[in-house]
Amino acid sequence: MISHGDLKKAVGQAQPLFQDLQALYRNVPDTHCLCEQPGICCSFIPEITFIESLHWYQVICNACGPMRNRWLQQFVAFYLTNPIRHLGCPFLANGVCTVYEYRAFACRAYGLWSRMTGKARTEQNRKAKNALLAAWERFGLALPAEAVTAEIDYCAKVECLFPEKPSDEKLMDVLRQVYALDQSMADLQQSFETEYHSDFSFLIASLALGYRKVVLGKYAVIKEIVRQGTDGRLQQMLDKVSTAAWQG
């Protein structure tokens, strides 16, 4: 498991990599959302690389107490209730990203992929969610179908604020370079991908409450919501999340 100590040490070593990451991000042009529901594409936390998760961890640790506590509560709630509740990215507030400067590659590239690639990625996500529903059924829980249908269609109303929109090949090249930044921290990268499934909310929830507790707690929370329609267990776990308890 990844500990605060592991992450603190990695953050100290990764400062030059954070600069490289920001330099790579500058190859992805800014975009503007033209839809009627700004922030709706941020309904879920994207899969991110380890260096990006380390960057987000630093942002949380450097935040003031009230902001940090709010983020921790929201990340834990997101992890424990996903996929039956769609709380939106914990960094989102009133349709605005509160960490816009540090948003991940997946956030930056959304809307820039070709419609064909975007549609294929959406279908891939839906298939993954169907597989997840089947996994929960094996544990005796039939989750609502909305867990899959909540995956919105790829948005065609994102405007590129640059004369020339990057090709899929260009975006993939930048993404490969972002992934390459993880190579100097291969052990932690492997742990993040295999033990936490590249899920930042899982990592934060585990740091806040303990790995075993959140894994077992997630099952208990979802079971109560599905079968009883209540969230008593969720509130009990959220009550244990606080800045004072955070070791960051």
Q: What is the pLDDT of residues 216-232, one digit of tens each?
A: 999 999 999 989 999 99
Amino acid identity at 177? Q
Q: What is the pLDDT of residues 12-29, one digit of tens each?
A: 999 999 999 999 999 999
Rg (CA), the chain: 18
Q: Is residue 153 part of a domain?
A: yes
In this structure, is residue 190 part of a structural domain? yes
Per-residue pLDDT at 129 exceeds 70: yes
Q: Residue ranges of the alpha helices (H) in the chain? A: 4-13, 15-25, 50-62, 65-81, 105-109, 115-138, 146-149, 168-180, 186-195, 200-209, 211-228, 232-238
What total number of domains does the chain contain?
1
- pLDDT for the residue 147: 63
Q: Is residue 109 part of a domain?
A: yes
Q: Does residue 218 belong to any structural domain of this protein?
A: yes
Residue where the block lists tokens 């991000």: 25
Q: Choose the most confident range, by mean pLDDT, from 126-130, 133-137, 153-157, 232-236.
A: 232-236
- Is residue 248 included in any domain, yes or no? no
Looking at the domain assignment, is residue 245 inside a domain? no
Residue 55's domain comprises 4-238
